[in-house]
Amino acid sequence: MAEQSGLDPPSTAIPPSVSPRLSLVIPAYNEELRLNAGIARLLEAIGTGAIDGDTTEFIVVDDGSIDATASCAQALLASLPHLKVIQLAKNQGKGAAVRAGVAAASASAIIFADADMAIDPSQTPQFIEALATADMAIGSRAASGATVDRSSISRSLMNRSFNRLVNTLTRVSLDDTQCGFKAFNAPTAKLLFHCTVTERMGFDVEVLLLARRLGLTITQVPVHWLRVRGSHVRSWADSVSMVSDVIRVRRAVDNMPPLQGVRMTLPAHTSGAGRKPHSGYGYLQSLSAYLPVLRRANGEFLVLLPLMTEIDVTTMFEKMTLELSGIVLERTSITTARLRTMAPLTLSWDDAEITAPAA
């Protein structure tokens, strides 16, 4: 099991030559007593083929638990070939735990799900399918087709009231911002979680607000939700805390620290008689499955390196220098506010003529 300090995010996974297709991040805090039931639902989804256990990376992030959450997760999921159990040195909050998991994820699609698996994990294929046409797909208990079992009146009232307030303050225009099952294309997840800082329950709103401001596409997927007893959510106390988070992030979302990146210009990508596209296009297109690669005008590219330590950034820069022999690469940085001026961002592309808006 990998131990992480409570101060720095874990080193991000630089895309390997062979990578799992999906990373499933499971934040957990003092879940020893409930983890068995949640993992049972997850293993059932694997057994039915809804989740491919051989090509899915399972990342459990123990958020500074004082019980045996980490060892319990290790034992319950030990049979799976791609398992990471990360232990944060101290409790920081669900947002911090998910961020740590996203940083460690190596697949081209990333989902985070609550440890109790209150959202039926067998619905995973619906989220993966939705990512084919959107940057992120979020579960919704309010969308047409959703079902809710054993609903708590006070919890439902809290969710509806909070969601109404969120939409009023942020205009994200979403039915259920707090549903604990969200899917992202990897470049989207890496970028959003790098540029957001909320560590506790309000982190969902910050992620969604930033996604809207960057012009990223969000689709809602109706889910089947089962109330699981023992939740750590304190209905009204946490509501007050989340409202405070929403007010704060609405003002701070454009003031995050600069994001490291690599800038370059490739020769014109033309396919006339006897001419072949520069090999760098294929390399960058492949890289865009894992990292945000912005295409600008005149063959300029900006590869963003979110959630990376300085060592990771240097290693990635050296790797790119080898792969793009003959191309001048320049390390650079960009602020969230600057990214907003480039919205709507296009973080994935499969056609040589698609370009991101010029600044």
Q: Within this chain, do residues 208 and 278 fall inside the same structural domain, yes or no?
A: no
Are residue 29 and residue 168 in the same domain, yes or no? yes
The CA distance from 57 to 49, in Å, is 15
Residue 308 has a pLDDT of 96
Q: Is 286 helix (H, G, I), strand (E, B) or coil?
A: helix
Same domain, 211 and 296: no
Give the Å distances, CA to CA, from 163 to 82, 170, 205, 243. 36, 10, 10, 10
Burial of 272 (0-12, 13-18, 19+ CB in 10 A): exposed
Residue 108 in 3-state DSSP?
Answer: coil
pLDDT exceeds cutoff 90 at 291: yes
Does the N-terminal peptide bond of residue 344 adopt cis geometry, omega within 30 degrees of 0?
yes
Asked whether residue 268 falls in the same domain as residue 177, the answer is no
Residues with Cβ < 8 Å from 129, sequence gap 6 or more?
A: none
Specify which residues 22 forms β-bridges with. 56, 109
* Residue 44 maps to a domain: yes
Instruction: Give the CATH number, domain containing residue 70.
Output: 3.90.550.10
pLDDT at 193: 96
**CB half-sphere exposure, 144, CA atoms < 13 A:** 0
Residues 39 and 106 both lie in one domain: yes
Structure tokens at 109: 């699609």
Tell which residue, 183, 68, 73, has the closest CA to residue 128. 183
Instruction: Indicate whether 188 pLDDT > 80.
Output: yes
Here the tokens at position 356 are 């991101």
Q: For every residue of 148-187, which 3-state class applies, written as one string?
A: EECCCHHHHHHHHHHHHHHHHHHCCCCCCCCCCEEEEEHH
One domain for residues 20 and 95: yes
1 pLDDT exceeds 60? no
Q: Supply 310's token pair.
A: 């300085």
For position 276, which CATH number holds? 3.30.70
Residue 234 has pLDDT above 90, yes or no: no
pLDDT for the residue 356: 38
Number of domains in the chain: 2
Mean pLDDT across the stretch 129-141? 95
* Percentage of the residues of the chain whose pLDDT score is greater than 70: 80
Higher pLDDT, 131 or 227: 131
Domain assignment of residue 310, yes or no: yes
Q: Which domain holds residue 219?
A: 2-252
Task: Give alpha helix (H) positions in the chain.
Answer: 32-47, 69-76, 94-104, 124-130, 153-170, 186-194, 203-213, 235-252, 279-287, 310-323, 336-341
Mean pLDDT of the chain: 84
In a domain, 114, yes or no: yes
287 & 140 share domain: no
Q: Describe the strand order of the beta sheet including 293-295 as a list of residue ranges.
A: 293-295, 300-304, 259-265, 330-334
Check residue 162 and give its pLDDT: 72
pLDDT digits (tens, 9 = 90+) for 13-37: 544 444 699 999 999 999 999 999 9
| Range with the poorest average pLDDT among 14-18, 192-196, 350-354, 355-359 | 355-359
